Amino acid sequence: MTMRVKPKNANRFRHEFLLLERQDRERVFEVLKTLAETPVPPNSICLEKNYYRIRTGSIRVIYQLIKEEDLILVGAVLKRNENTYKDWKRYFR
């Protein structure tokens, strides 16, 4: 079963995505395609019930899994730093 993958906030996603280097954008795109097929791959980490993060290089994709709607909401696509996980829930408000 293929799930839909969409950003929680399209403007923020577009902004974050375009700030990435080309090779990072390509890797993130591949991760998003993988999530559509496998919503919780083995290399994902559960942050809280139904909230996950997956890593591709130095980039972190923070997402919410909504099984009943076959939906993955991408909250953030960020370069890893000391603030990445401080208030990660803000990406889903």
Q: Domain tally for the chain?
A: 1
Check residue 86 and give its pLDDT.
85
Give the dihedral of Cα atoms 66, 72, 75, 81; nearest 10 deg: 110
Domain that holds residue 71: 4-79
Q: What is the CATH number of the domain that holds 20?
A: 3.30.2310.20
List the pLDDT tens digit at each of the 93 positions of the chain: 789 999 999 999 999 999 999 999 999 999 999 999 999 999 999 999 999 999 999 999 999 999 999 999 999 999 888 888 888 999 998
Contact 75, 63 (CB under 8 A): yes
* CA-based end-to-end distance of the chain: 28
The set of residues, in sequence order, having a beta carbon less than 8 Å from that of 82 and lying 6+ positions away, is none
pTM over 0.75: yes
32 within a domain of the structure (yes/no)? yes
Paired tokens of 61: 């994709």
d(CA 9, CA 77): 11
49 within a domain of the structure (yes/no)? yes
